[in-house]
Structure 1
Amino acid sequence: MLRKPAFLLAFILLSFNYAIAQPLTTFTNIQNQMMVWDNGMIRKVDYLQPIQTKVGRTAIPYLDNSRSFKIYYGGGVKTINVGFTNSFDVSDNLVTFLNASSLNVFDHGNVKNLSGMCQQYFMGDSLVLFYDGVRSEYKAYYNGNVYPIENFLAGAPIDVIKVSDNIAAYINYAGQFHFFYHGNIINQDNYQVNSFDVGRNTVAYVDINNQFRIFQNGKTRKVDDFKPASYVVGDNLVAFVGSDNHFKIYYNDSVYNIGFFTPTYQVGDYIVAYEDPSGYFKVFYKGEIYTLESYYPENFKIKYNSLAYVNRTNTLRMFSEGETYDVTTADLVNWDLFYDVVQYQIGQNIFRVFYQGREYE
């Protein structure tokens, strides 16, 4: 009698672990072999250096030395085709690739053809919006299904489209402002908006009356009666300098008033990095503010829940999920940030990986 609940519990735990799968990274070792870091282990996946590689959160697509298109996924490599793929992209959960003008998607191990003739598409973490030239129609691929969006024959093509993560926003042929969100088309505004930006579950826009509005998780809120001086949308947040010259962040249905100043700021996924009035380098992350340096660095990278940079003491420093780590003080040939993973090179083809406070080599 207890076997069925135990099986269901195991299945739920397996599904949960899959949903929060650790991010990936890849490098070429001193023997020019392609290596992948996955879940704390470094695996050799190809004997020759690939021609082109891109890193997603759950998959690594690449063209191997013979131009065969392959995808590392779920601990192994799958050959998709030999010599047909001319371009490809990757996000958190999807890989899109073009064979001539045929658009295809790799989604959790399965390949699906979206259009036999496509010259324009936009990709998010779990969403692809594309123009199907066979049927002269804009469509969306989401959660394994294809949805009709706009028919080109009804009027002019869509000029302005923005896609991020799980939402698409666009102005259609009639000048109406629409969203595609969770499989549904939302007619947000019948009049053409002045500007807009998109992020996970979120669209910020200035409407025809110059009012600043934010759509998040299915609800729309008027944030300001006047357009902001600037604004950028991230994942579930919007950073903006309001008409009152206050720097603010909209997060979790609340507006955080950071202060009366116009900062240099950058938004990446869940993080807002900015320079405060004293010149300090600070980040806003999930409702909290963290001070990283007493100066604002010229170069840093943001991805997902993490930010990384080399500070003035030549330390590769990483902020990730509310924690700050000094990764290394070694002289670096180069380094990069892939989602929440820092990969860095010391000397000739000596690579190391840093993730959640632990170093792998």
Structure 2
Amino acid sequence: MKDTRKFIAVGENIHCSRIYKVGGSFVKPCADGAYAIVYSADGQEQCVPIPQHILESEAWAKGKVKHAAVAMWQGFYGDEAAKHAGIAYLEHMARIQESCGASFLDVNVDEFSNDLDERVRLMQWVVGVLQNTSSIPLSIDSSDLNILQAGLEACDPSRGRPMVNSVSLERAAAIEIAHEKGAVVIAGATGESSMPQNVEERVQNLKLLVKKLHEAGFEDEEIYLDPLVFPASVDSNNGKMILEAIKILRQTYGEAIHFAPGLSNVSYGLPNRRLLNQVFTYLCVEQSCDGGIVDPRQINDDILNSLDTTTNAFQLAKAFLVGEDEYGMNYIRAVRKGKIQ
């Protein structure tokens, strides 16, 4: 890779929207026959029992379960054994991400329930759990300012400055909260009332937002730009637009400012997401992107530096991501024929 700076990974996994498939390797009956979230720790299989209300839910009937939400529910409401299992799972996710090079742990409880007071209490609780096991700062992620503030208030500043995910022209009120709590910020390219449709709108929205952040007292090194990654499955030019926006923004703001786009969004709805995410991150780093919201188990400095750019798999993924393979037909065909593993 051309850029030699450490990649700033914002670990994305402790998020109530994250889904496992029912009956897959991570959601299956444990020894007692009851369904659970299953994972390996210290060489042994561990289980987080799935509460009855989730087993009776519409999502479960459709074969989906939000695994982080299960762990949070059990840790927050379960009996003694279930509480221990839920907390152990959250701690495991934190330790794994930190050991793989995460610089921040993103935490989101928005989809836990519709009860705002409950989610405020839950965010404060989860922050405490994570800080008991991880030494890195947290990224507090919420669309609700009350939850955002509660999470920041629970953060221990001795671990490093927390992060706000995110501020934007649409969410300008979050700027003051972030500054008051001494947080760094992910600055999203959303406009005041709409999403950006092209490179120019992304760049213009971020220029206006960075101006507001400077006026509020933020320095460039406290700002992480997010030009907003949309799936390549929707438009095969979506990846190319992000690469162009990163290049322009780096030229505009110089070396001090950071980046933290949601890089894995590019692969949504596509086969072999890991490969697409890794190749896309590699291409972004070539344009001087120094960070992103990612799964650190799949994207970190060691993995990026070990990618073989000469392989057919890399080249097919790259062609799709830079808009040379319209609709990704060559890439998808290669996956289906087993030419990309």
Tell me the TM-score normalised to structure 2 length: 0.36
- Which structure is higher in strand share? 1
Tell me the TM-score normalised to structure 1 length: 0.34
Largest Rg, 1 or 2: 1
- Which structure is higher in helix share? 2
Using CA pairs below 8 Å that are at least 6 residues apart, which structure has the higher relative contact order? 2
